[in-house]
Amino acid sequence: MKSRLVASAALSALVLLGATGCTFITPQSTEIQYSASDGINIPDSDGPLQIRNAMIIANEDGSVGNLVAAIVNDTDQNEVLTIEAEGLAPLTVRVGAGDTLSLGADAEPLRIEDLGVKPGATVEMYFQSGDATGATAEVPVLDGTLPYYADLVPTD
């Protein structure tokens, strides 16, 4: 009788382990961070500013674009974000202490002259704030095909 009880418990343990063992070695997809929008979040670079949902909305030939993003300043000091890309003039934006600046929503987007990148491509951009070394990211270039981006396409 005891041997049946032990065998039953062992069999139950094996079934339980077999049914749930995969979760011990498989990464959980809910733990993977990603940008759930058309833009990208710039990886933390130890700077005081956080850049969220960054994207460029360009005209049809890609000659001019508008940088759209949300810039978050969680500090108690005004901060400046410098954005650079090869062959383009540097862009700067000031974000007040404790503020979130939404370029393209509650503030004008940053206009990029001589972009030279058609929609569908990416632009490697460098973002730097405070004393941090900064971070580089591939920022997607979109057009006004989607209705909610139509008003963000730069006009000549």
Tens digit of pLDDT for each residue in 23-46? 666 777 777 666 667 899 987 667
Higher pLDDT, 17 or 85: 85
- Show Cβ contacts of residue 77 under 8 Å, excluding neighbours closer than 6 positions: 48, 97
Amino acid (1-letter code) at residue 41: N
HEC string of 139-155 equals EEEECCCCHHHHHHCCC
The residue-averaged pLDDT of 2-6 equals 75
**pTM of the model as a whole:** 0.78
The residue-averaged pLDDT of 57-79 equals 95
Amino acid (1-letter code) at residue 74: D
